[in-house]
Amino acid sequence: MPPARKVALRVNGVEVTTATLRRGEQGSELVIANPFVGEFVVDENFSLELLELVHPDEIRSGLPNGGWRRVSLRIVIALLRSGVVRVAEESES
């Protein structure tokens, strides 16, 4: 299996660097950590955006919304569960 692609994740416009999955009553839950409020579960009421970090800044800056694209919670959970992506800081690109 190829290595996971690095992505940056924004939740309600705030970039997060720690996102994990845990088993909840209804299936997998996305848990993020924020230095100010601690860990919490993200639900469908949150706005989620991903940024592919494989592209250099020069390319990302020319893309709509700087390359950030809105995604559903279901998609983020599926991507993380499958190992296709891993959340990283934008500076790790």
Domain boundaries, the chain: 5-88
The CA distances from residue 9 to 22, 25, 46, 82, in Å, are 17, 24, 12, 17
The confidence score (pLDDT) of residue 59 equals 84
Cβ-in-10-Å burial (0-12, 13-18, 19+) of 65 comes to: exposed
pLDDT under 70 in the chain at which residues?
1, 91-93
The CA distances from residue 86 to 4, 27, 42, 51, in Å, are 6, 20, 17, 11
pTM for the model:
0.84
**What letter would DSSP give residue 66?**
G
The confidence score (pLDDT) of residue 57 equals 83
- Is there a contact between 11 and 50 (Cβ–Cβ < 8 Å)? no
